[in-house]
C-alpha cells in the first residue's frame, strides 16, 4: 500500500531532498510552506519535482495549533517529518522569541495534533548537533549531555525533549534525529559553506573581489544533505522510535573549508595574520580573497562539533559516503554554473 507523508518546511534544503526521496518511493507527499507575498520553490524546481502529481503543496503555519490539526485531518498521513524551523543560529540571537515559537512550540503543535487526531502517525523531529553546544565529550553521541549555546539550540532542545516525552507519555512513534551540519548545492546562502562556495565562484568569475567571514576557527562535522534525508526516512521505518546521531565523524575548521573550496575552483590560497586581522591571499595573484569581519561573530559560539553515527550504522544501516572534498566540489561547480548564468539563489 502506498504511504502518505507530511513534510513541513518543503521550501528548505532538506525538505526538497526528502520530498524527492519519498516521491521516488511512491509516497504521496503533503509539503507545507508558509504564506508570504512571494513563495519560492526554486529548490523543488532544481530537483524537477515542483509539478509532480503526487506532491500536494499546502499552506501551513506551524505556530498555529488549529493549522496543525487541520493539516493532520486533511492529509491523514502515515508519517510526519517536521523540518520547518527558524534554522539560522545567528538570527536566533536577534529573534529569540520568534525562534522559540517556530522552532520549539512548532514541534509541540504537531505532536499535539498527532495525539488528538491519530496516535498511530509516525513523527520525525529535526534535532541538531547545536543541542550539544559547548561540548561535553568528543565525539558526540546520543547520550552526550546537552549544553546549547544559542536561542536556536535551546528551542531545538525543547522540541527534542517534547518528542521524547510524547513517545513515553502517549506511545507516539516519535523519533529524533540529531543531525550534524549537512550541506549541498541547495543550501541557503546565509550558511557558511554555501556563502563560501558562492563567493569562491564569484571571485573565480571576476564578479567579486573578496569575501567577509566571522569565526573561521569554528570546527564542524559537514556531510551531504541528500544522504542525511535517507537517514530520516530510515528512522521512521525502524521497529521502535528512538534518537539517532547522523554525522561523518570528521571535523574541519571553517578555514579548512575555505581552502578546500578555493582549491575546487583551481585557486591556491595561503592564510596570513591572526584573529581579526587574518586574511586569505590568492598565491598566484597576491590578491586578498577573504578577510575577517567581526560583524559575523556570534555572542556565544559552538567551537567544535564531531559526531559518531555508530548507532545509526548498527540499527539503521546508515552511513555517509560523500567526502568533504567531493561535497565542496559539487557545491563550487553548481555555484560556478549559476553565477555564469547570472542566477544565484
Q: Is 253 a catalytic residue?
A: no
Q: Residue 87 or residue 175: which is nearer to ligand GDR going by CB?
A: 87
Which one of ligand NDP, ligand GDR, none is in contact with 13 (Cβ closer than 5 to 8 A by kind)? ligand NDP
The span from the CA of 343 to the CA of 72, in Å, is 37
> Hey, what's the cell of 140?
558526540
The span from the CA of 99 to the CA of 268, in Å, is 39
CB of residue 46 vs ligand GDR: minimum separation in angstroms?
Answer: 19
Q: CA of 148: how far to CAs of 96, 178, 215, in Å?
A: 14, 13, 18
> Hey, what's the cell of 225?
544533505
Q: Is 270 a catalytic residue?
A: no
Q: Residue 205 or residue 300: which is nearer to ligand GDR going by CB?
A: 300
The span from the CA of 276 to the CA of 295, in Å, is 11
Residues that bind ligand NDP (CB under 6 A): 9, 11-15, 33-34, 36, 61-63, 83-87, 102, 126, 128, 179, 181-182, 188
Q: What is the DSSP letter of 145?
A: P
Cis peptide before 262 (omega within 30 of 0): no
Which one of ligand NDP, ligand GDR, none is in contact with 202 (Cβ closer than 5 to 8 A by kind)? none
- Of 209, 109, 99, nearest to 156 by C-alpha is 99
Which one of ligand NDP, ligand GDR, none is in contact with 84 (Cβ closer than 5 to 8 A by kind)? ligand NDP
Look at the block and give the residue holding cell 509539478: 51
The span from the CA of 123 to the CA of 236, in Å, is 7
Q: Active site residue: 28, 128, 193, 243, which one?
A: 128
Q: Active site residue: 30, 33, 81, 152, which one?
A: 152
Neighbours of 101 (CB within 10 A): 16
Q: Residue 257 or residue 267: which is nearer to ligand NDP going by CB?
A: 257
Which one of ligand NDP, ligand GDR, none is in contact with 215 (Cβ closer than 5 to 8 A by kind)? ligand GDR
The span from the CA of 172 to the CA of 323, in Å, is 36
Residues that bind ligand GDR (CB under 6 A): 87, 89-90, 128-130, 180-181, 190-192, 195, 213-216, 218, 220, 254, 296, 298, 301-302
Which one of ligand NDP, ligand GDR, none is in contact with 86 (Cβ closer than 5 to 8 A by kind)? ligand NDP
CB of residue 140 vs ligand GDR: minimum separation in angstroms?
Answer: 11
Q: Residue 85 or residue 110: which is nearer to ligand NDP going by CB?
A: 85
Are 131 and 148 within 8 A, CB to CB?
yes
CB of residue 65 vs ligand NDP: minimum separation in angstroms?
Answer: 13
Q: Residue 41 or residue 191: which is nearer to ligand GDR going by CB?
A: 191
Q: Is 2 a catalytic residue?
A: no
CB of residue 94 vs ligand NDP: minimum separation in angstroms?
Answer: 15
Q: Active site residue: 4, 17, 79, 130, which one?
A: 130
Are 253 and 218 within 8 A, CB to CB?
yes
Q: Minimal CB distance to ligand NDP: which residue?
A: 12
Q: What are phi and psi of 260, to 5 degrees?
A: -65, -40
CB of residue 126 vs ligand GDR: minimum separation in angstroms?
Answer: 8
- Of 178, 180, 201, nearest to 189 by C-alpha is 201
Residues forming the active site: 128, 130, 152
Amino acid at each position: 500500500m502506498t504511504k502518505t507523508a507530511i513534510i513541513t518546511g518543503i521550501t528548505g534544503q532538506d525538505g526538497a531532498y526528502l520530498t524527492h526521496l519519498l516521491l521516488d518511493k511512491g509516497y504521496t507527499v503533503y509539503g507545507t510552506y508558509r504564506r508570504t507575498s512571494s513563495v519560492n520553490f526554486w529548490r523543488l524546481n532544481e530537483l524537477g519535482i515542483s509539478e509532480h502529481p503526487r506532491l500536494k503543496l499546502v499552506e501551513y503555519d506551524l505556530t498555529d495549533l488549529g493549522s496543525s490539526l487541520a493539516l493532520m485531518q486533511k492529509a491523514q498521513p502515515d508519517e510526519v517529518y517536521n523540518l520547518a524551523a527558524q534554522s539560522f543560529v545567528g538570527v536566533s540571537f536577534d529573534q529569540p522569541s520568534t525562534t522559540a515559537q517556530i522552532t520549539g512550540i512548532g514541534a509541540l503543535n504537531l505532536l499535539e495534533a498527532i495525539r488528538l487526531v491519530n496516535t498511530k502517525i509516525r513523527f520525525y523531529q529535526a534535532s541538531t548537533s547545536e543541542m550539544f553546544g559547548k561540548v561535553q565529550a568528543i565525539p558526540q553521541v546520543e547520550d552526550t549531555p546537552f549544553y546549547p549555546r544559542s536561542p536556536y539550540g535551546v528551542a531545538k532542545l525543547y522540541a527534542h525533549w517534547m518528542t521524547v516525552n510524547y513517545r513515553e507519555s502517549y506511545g507516539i512513534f516519535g523519533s529524533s534525529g540529531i543531525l550534524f551540519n549537512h550541506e549541498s548545492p541547495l543550501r541557503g546562502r546565509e550558511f557558511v559553506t554555501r556563502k563560501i562556495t558562492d563567493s569562491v565562484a564569484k571571485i573565480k568569475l571576476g564578479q567579486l573581489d573578496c569575501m567577509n567571514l566571522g569565526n573561521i576557527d569554528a570546527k564542524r562535522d559537514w556531510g551531504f544533505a541528500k544522504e542525511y534525508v535517507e537517514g530520516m526516512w530510515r528512522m521512521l521505518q525502524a521497529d521502535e522510535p528512538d534518537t539517532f546521531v547522523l554525522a561523518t565523524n570528521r571535523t574541519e575548521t571553517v578555514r579548512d573549508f575555505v581552502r578546500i573550496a578555493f582549491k575546487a575552483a583551481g585557486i591556491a590560497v595561503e592564510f596570513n595574520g591572526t584573529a581579526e586581522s587574518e586574511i586569505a591571499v590568492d598565491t598566484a595573484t597576491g590578491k586578498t580573497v577573504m578577510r575577517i569581519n567581526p560583524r559575523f561573530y556570534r555572542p556565544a559560539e559552538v567551537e567544535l562539533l564531531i559526531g559518531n553515527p555508530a548507532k545509526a550504522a548498527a540499527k539503521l544501516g546508515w552511513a555517509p559516503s560523500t567526502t568533504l572534498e567531493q561535497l565542496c566540489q559539487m557545491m563550487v561547480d553548481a555555484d560556478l554554473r549559476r553565477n555564469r548564468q547570472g542566477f544565484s539563489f
